[in-house]
Amino acid sequence: MISNYKTPKPLWINLHTLHQSAHFVANSTKYDYSNGPMEGIKHKIKNLKRSCFGFRNFKNLLRLIECIRY
């Protein structure tokens, strides 16, 4: 019955992607781990580097990263 209908291409692409990553989707529902906090820290560091016009040395950058990490 479903074979009588023509599946739109965007839906077919989404279903194909879901089929390829089914293992990862199952793991995300099984475990409570998230990379959200790490992505937030990375975003803060990128914003810090973007807002500054340079540092005299690398230690100053590392000190500022230590301050925003928490």
* Predicted confidence (pLDDT) at residue 69 exceeds the cutoff of 60: yes
* Predicted confidence (pLDDT) at residue 4 exceeds the cutoff of 80: no
**Domain coordinates of the chain in residue numbers?**
33-70
- Tokens 């099984």 belong to 30
**65 vs 5: which has the higher pLDDT:** 65
* Predicted confidence (pLDDT) at residue 1 exceeds the cutoff of 80: no
Q: What is the pLDDT of residues 5-42, one digit of tens each?
A: 677 888 889 899 999 999 988 888 888 888 888 899 89
User: Which pLDDT score is estimated for 29?
Assistant: 87
